[in-house]
Amino acid sequence: MPHDLDQAILLAPAGGHRFAGATSPAYANMVGPFGGTTSAAMLNAALLHPERLGEPIALTVNFCSPLVDGNFEIDALPARTNRSTQHWVLELLQGGEVAATGTAVFAQRRDTWSAPEATLPADVPPAAGLPSLPKVGFLPAWVSRYDMRFLPGFAPGPFDGQEQSHSVSRYWVRDEPARPMDFPSLAAICDSFFPRIFVRRRKPGAIGTVSLTTYFHADAALLAEQGDRHVLAMARALNFRNGYFDQTAEVWSDHGQLLASTHQMVYFKE
């Protein structure tokens, strides 16, 4: 049996630069599918393309409308290929309409001077000692496709409508069931954060991510080292203003290496 994630991002060549896929009920969200799998499927189109060069460095996906459950096509066009970098233009279509736009930058990395700058908080308890988020019925299906273990003091809620001063969340997360990490699963995890405004205002509301950018600090070797163990996900917002807020987040390996940094702008209704 393939993993649910592989089913959700499964693409068949459909001629030229086009790939055909379908949304997966296993990753259903409140309306349409989980944006993380949409983003991962768009990345996967470039990864599967026969002209692909190297590994992903940057991915931007703009959600133009909620996807409807069912088939979609992704066009992945290598707009420019250089000696060691490649630029992709991505588009997801449903019923002939553009449902998501995107771009990606791929590159062949070389060994160079390297150095971390951001560091992990000193007091992060290991995933093994923390409880998993219970699988409760009112959460959308995609949440159950992850094992999430919130750090003490950094879980969302209680949802009492009492606004708090920050929207910080921190949790260990891996695919459920466990699955070795690759670029699509990392891209999907980068959209696994609950909306910052729910955390800040301690209440749910109508929201929708409009633009999501992920930077891949990990190369394939580092992802292979990570395997299927939990990664640490940390997010916060910088600002909420007149219908839009941002999220800025990081995903770390359990050995303290930054795997991805990821940012998004999100619409909110009121």
Q: How far is the CB of 168 from its own copies (least distance, A)?
A: 9
Q: Is 250 in the site for its own copies (CB under 8 A)?
A: yes
Q: Is 162 in the site for its own copies (CB under 8 A)?
A: no
Number of residues that make up the chain? 270
The H or E element that residue 186 is part of is helix 183-189
| Lookup: tokens for 121 | 């908080």
Q: Is 268 in the site for its own copies (CB under 8 A)?
A: yes
Which of 118, 128, 139, 178 is the binder for its own copies (CB under 8 A)? 118
Burial of 243 per CB tally in 10 Å (0-12, 13-18, 19+): exposed
How far, in Å, CA of 9 to CA of 5, rounded? 6
Site for its own copies, residues 5 to 44, rule: CB under 8 A? none
How far, in Å, CA of 178 to CA of 90, rounded? 29
DSSP at 242:
T
Q: How far is the CB of 264 from its own copies (least distance, A)?
A: 9
Residues 6+ apart with CB under 8 A from 197: 167, 205, 207, 237, 240, 245, 266, 268
Which of 19, 237, 251, 254 is the binder for its own copies (CB under 8 A)? 237
The H or E element that residue 197 is part of is helix 196-201
Judge contact between 235 and 193, C-beta under 8 A.
yes
Judge contact between 9 and 26, C-beta under 8 A.
no
| Contact range with its own copies by CB under 8 A, out of 2-10, 35-43, 169-177, 214-222 | 214-222
| Contact range with its own copies by CB under 8 A, out of 4-12, 41-49, 187-195, 234-242 | 234-242
**Residues binding its own copies: number (CB under 8 A):** 62
Where do the H-state alpha helices sit in 202-238?
A: 220-226
Q: Is 91 in the site for its own copies (CB under 8 A)?
A: yes
Q: How far is the CB of 80 from its own copies (least distance, A)?
A: 4
Judge contact between 250 and 189, C-beta under 8 A.
no
Q: Is 211 in the site for its own copies (CB under 8 A)?
A: yes
Q: Is 109 in the site for its own copies (CB under 8 A)?
A: yes
Site string for its own copies, 49-78 (x = CB under 8 A): --------xx-x-x-xx-------------
**What residues make contact with its own copies under the rule CB under 8 A?**
57-58, 60, 62, 64-65, 79-80, 82, 85, 87, 89, 91, 97-99, 101-103, 105, 107, 109-118, 163, 166-167, 200-201, 210-211, 213, 215, 217, 219, 236-244, 246, 248, 250, 258, 261, 263, 265, 267-270
